[in-house]
Structure 1
Amino acid sequence: MKETRIEKSNFILLIIITIVTFTIYFINPIFILNENQILYLFSAASQVIAAIFGLIITGYIFLRNELDRKYERDESYQEIITILKEEYFRLISIISSFTVTSIILCFLNIVLESSAHKSILDITINITGIIVIGSLLFIVSFILKILSPNSFEFASEELRRKYTTNENGERGSLEDFLKNYNEIEYILQKYGSSLLYENLTDYESIKMKRIPNRKLVTILTKENKFDNKLESDLLKLISLRNGIVHGLNPTISNEDELFSENVKIKVRESLNVNNN
């Protein structure tokens, strides 16, 4: 994903800053801090980093709740939201590691200032500065990521690339692909829901009690209507369709179109659905 490249850039930038910082330190230090400056700077730095981290965690909790509500409104976002949650959690983990390390180093600098180990203090001061900068870089990256207006589209595109049969193959008909999928969805809803709501006989009534497609596939498999291979193909098709309709690039390969057609035929055969 684009965001992953940004995170790699942050690590590269941090390595460059580290090399430059220690090079300057060993050749000709630019800043030499006295006792009061060290105590004030690192005391304030630890408090600021901790406060920012607390705000980030609070925002992250609200963000997860909002993602859950979006899934409740539209189950086709399930895997897309899962991708986003994993990305956000990974970045929060990195921020947490940098934040805790920054605070520990700030306390260490305050303690070492009154000790006789001045050479160690000089090194820890440089390391602390680098870690604090790293924390701020990843915090900014996280904020930009959650504010991105295209975050769902980027996640959808990743989902599409993961499940497409041939990314660079001959382009197929999106219209035919969606027709096949919609027919499969109709069959799943009709036959799957009727297993749970036996008193409902017409499809319009069953639609009022709509069940997520993935759950219906699992139910029909447990009822021995589908074998494991068909279950896997259906779940793949559902994921591919969701990635396509919510993504930036609503195109499919000819292999994807044929795949949807084959799955539709297998579903019809498994449930003894006659062609109209």
Structure 2
Amino acid sequence: MTPIKISVLSTILIVIISGITSLIGLDRPLLSLNENQIFYLYSTSAQVLAGVYGLTLTGFIFFRNELSREEFEDDTLTVAVDSLKERYFNMLLFVTALSIFTLIMSNLVISSESSAQTTFNTIIMNTAQSAFFINLLVIAYFIFDVIAPKRIEKESKVIQQKVDPTPEAEDKGSLESFLTNYNKLEYILQKYGQAYQSEGESRSRRRISNVRLAEFILRAERINQDLFGEIKSLISLRNSIIHGAEPVVSKHMVELSENILQELASALHIKI
């Protein structure tokens, strides 16, 4: 489930649950709390949520660093890792916003308890507890999403669907031809791309990724932005396949890989 879907679903659930519980509380309340019980319940809820959020943030930083380490050791994971980082960051933004909203509602309940506006108090009390409940569920989902096994493989499949949706039987191309074209493309990037890197980058002992080499050639104005985008998509598809996506490609991608290879060779004046 995407972060946007999670955000929308959570918001809808908060509105529905808080609305239903508020109506019940105004008509026939199931529980009647005195002032001390309200203070204790909502102050404790705020403290628990703050503690859980802090632990979640700490764990997220740890796993983010772990993803960065995996990316450093294997540059073919760059696209998948960057996609995961973006997903986790967007989810963390929503968790943060929801946590702030819940804490504000809890403080509002405590501060308005002594007022005579019983209807308003009932609504914000039920809204605060509904937000607290949904918040914990979202945090739990976020935690299990971050620590899920085979997260790289799953994200690779998502990337493959974006770049080259799984083709029908009659539209499948030759994976061997695709990989042959890619290997030739990679050879050109590795052999000629390093000639266009800056002095500071040339001192690095780490193997330079194919996407980075393509960026060097782009900055040297040997290829245009469109060709760079196509090369990047080709690299993403190949890397997603070797990291768990379905080993299939469409005829269109096979033809595109050959065209990209020819265009790159022509731009660099190379015979293949």
TM-score, normalization: structure 2?
A: 0.87
How far apart in 1 are the matches of 2:75 and 2:137?
Answer: 34
Residue deviations 1:160-203, cap 9 Å, x none? 222227855701111221121111101211122355599xxxxx
CA contact (8 A) 2:106 2:128 kept: yes
- Structure 1 residues 126 and 146 mapped into 2: Cα distance closer, same or farther (>3 Å)? same
2:3 and 2:60 map into 1 onto residues whose CA distance is 17
Superposed, 1:74-85 pairs within 5 Å as 74-85=74-85
Aligned residue in 2 for 1:27: 27
SS in 2 for 1:249: coil
Match among 233, 236, 253 for residue 236 of structure 1: 233
| 2:53 alignment counterpart | 53
Letter in 1 for 2:114: S
Q: 1:13 to 1:110 in 2, by over 3 A?
A: closer
Contact 1:3 1:145 in 2 (8 A): no
Residue identity matched to 1:271: L
Is 1:153–1:246's contact at 8 Å kept on the other side of the alignment?
A: yes
CA distance in 1, matches of 2:246, 2:224: 32
Give the match for residue 185 of structure 1: 186
| Match 1:265 to one of 262, 266, 271 | 262
The question of whether the paired residues in 1 share the 8 Å contact of 2:166 and 2:248 is answered with: no
Q: Which runs of 5+ in 2 are unaligned?
A: 200-204
Distance (Å, rounded) in 1 between the aligned partners of 2:227 and 2:10: 43
Match of 1:214 in 2: 211
Structure 1 residues 37 and 228: CA distance shift in structure 2, 3 A:
closer
- Structure 1 stretches of at least 4 aligned residues deviating more than 6 Å after TM superposition: none
Q: Percent identity?
A: 35
- The equivalent residue for 1:68 is 68
Residue aligned with 1:225, SS? coil
Matched with 2:247 is 250
Q: Check the 8 A contact 2:197/2:216 in 1, yes or no.
A: no
Residues 1:117 and 2:113 are matched in the alignment: no
SS of 1:183's equivalent in the other structure is helix
Matches within 5 A, 1:13-162: 13-162=13-162
Asked if the contact 1:161/1:167 (under 8 Å) is kept, the reply is no
Deviations 1:221-265 (A, max 9, x none): 333433443323212211222223224322111111111111122
Contact 2:71 2:78 in 1 (8 A): yes
For 1:63 and 1:142, the matched residues in 2 are separated by 12
Supply the distance in 2 between the matched residues of 1:163 and 1:217 (Cα, whole angstroms).
Answer: 18
Distance between the aligned counterparts of 1:165 and 1:106, measured in 2? Answer: 46
**Whole-angstrom CA distance in 2 between matches of 1:196 and 1:90:** 33
In the aligned structure 2, how far is the partner of 1:154 from the partner of 1:126? 38
Aligned AA (1:107)? N
- Which runs of 5 or more structure 1 residues have no equivalent in the other structure? 199-207
What is the count of residue pairs matched by the alignment?
A: 266
